[in-house]
Amino acid sequence: MQSPKIKVLLDTDIGTDIDDAVCLAYLLQQQQCELLGITTVTGQAVERAKLASAICVRADRDIPIYPGAENPLIVEQRQKVAQQAECLARWDHQDQFPHGEAVEFLQQTIRSHPGEVVLLAIAPLTNIGLLFSIDPEIPRLLRGLVMMCGRFNARVAGNYGPTEWNASGDPHATAIVYRASVAMHRSLGLDVTSRVSMDANLFRRTFAASYLFGPILDFAEVWFRDWKGTTFHDPLAAATIFDPSLCRFEKGEVSIDLTPGDTLGKTLWSPDGTSGRHEIGTDVDASRFFHHLVPVCL
């Protein structure tokens, strides 16, 4: 007998890095996933909703999409533009979306399915911080919270600073989210997600045969103007919902540095294997991950 599908809500800043679009495609194609809805966050949230819609339309899926918060709680927005929106004229997509209802949509959906929903956050955490603030019971009603967020080991491939983008994009919302108690509070940090990458040519060749990837390959060319390839940060976080064995995890406590300056939004990790509220990814089997991801997307 087939296992019941896992209900998922996706919060994304699709339209900047291409891995958000790949993550959405993966969820739409993943047979174990029941995607209940999508919320967008950071600058040009409506344009980001249109990009998500273009992929859903391509997949012939009617998924509720809600543009969310465009500005962080306190700090200035650093991600003001959804660059990939320049491609939208070439792809069918929805143009009209509910205004100012993203957090309410998340709240109502989770309350309608208590203990069943995994909230997948692959963006700065403004929407989620607002959700947990207006309804503090929501974290306890989740099946799990899975995030591409943070950096928990200083030894990271590439030239990264002391913080990770999603954690530092709205550090005060990030602090709210990590203070919440969730049955499964999982973070895939930069130190692990940076190990699953493809150069631009391999990306094009890998997904060229996928009908669904038509718009995504177009969006990717915008990203490849400035980057030589892509790292599958967000798809890795999503994949662990359905196959946790792709990664190793460790329990402990995460806190957020809210000191103004270069470390604002830095994730601070304290291992605690017995009573830790959080779990972080510590390692990934990169080969197994790609063998898992690519067939689903194709």
Alpha-carbon distance 185 to 254, whole Å? 10
Pairing of strands 144-148, 117-122: parallel
- As to burial, measured by CB atoms within 10 angstroms (0-12 exposed, 13-18 middle, 19+ buried), residue 242 is buried
Tell me the helices (H) and strands (E) count for the chain, helix number first: 12, 11
Q: Is 185 helix (H, G, I), strand (E, B) or coil?
A: strand
Give the pLDDT confidence of 69-95 residue by residue, as tens digits: 999 999 999 999 999 999 999 999 999
pLDDT above 60 (res 181): yes
User: 6-297 — its CATH code?
Assistant: 3.90.245.10
Alpha-carbon distance 129 to 178, whole Å? 9
Is the Cβ–Cβ distance between 34 and 6 less than 8 Å? yes
Give the pLDDT confidence of 125-176 residue by residue, as tens digits: 999 999 999 999 999 999 999 999 999 976 554 556 789 999 999 999 999 9
Q: What is the pLDDT of residue 156?
A: 53
What angle separates helix 286-297 from helix 19-29, to the nearest 10 degrees?
A: 70
Write out the two tokens for 139. Answer: 């974290």
1 confidence band (pLDDT: 50, 70, 90) = low
Pairing of strands 197-199, 278-284: unpaired
What angle separates helix 214-224 from helix 19-29, to the nearest 10 degrees?
A: 160
Please report which helix (H) or strand (E) contains residue 251, including its range.
strand 247-256
Is the Cβ–Cβ distance between 205 and 171 less than 8 Å? no
Report CA-CA distances (Å) from 170 to 81, 119, 123, 264: 16, 18, 10, 9
More reliable by pLDDT, 46 or 1: 46
Residue 95: closest CA among 71, 127, 70, 65: 65
The proportion of the chain whose per-residue pLDDT surpasses 90, expressed as a percent, equals 94
Give the pLDDT confidence of 18-59 residue by residue, as tens digits: 999 999 999 999 999 999 999 999 999 999 999 999 999 999
pTM over 0.85: yes
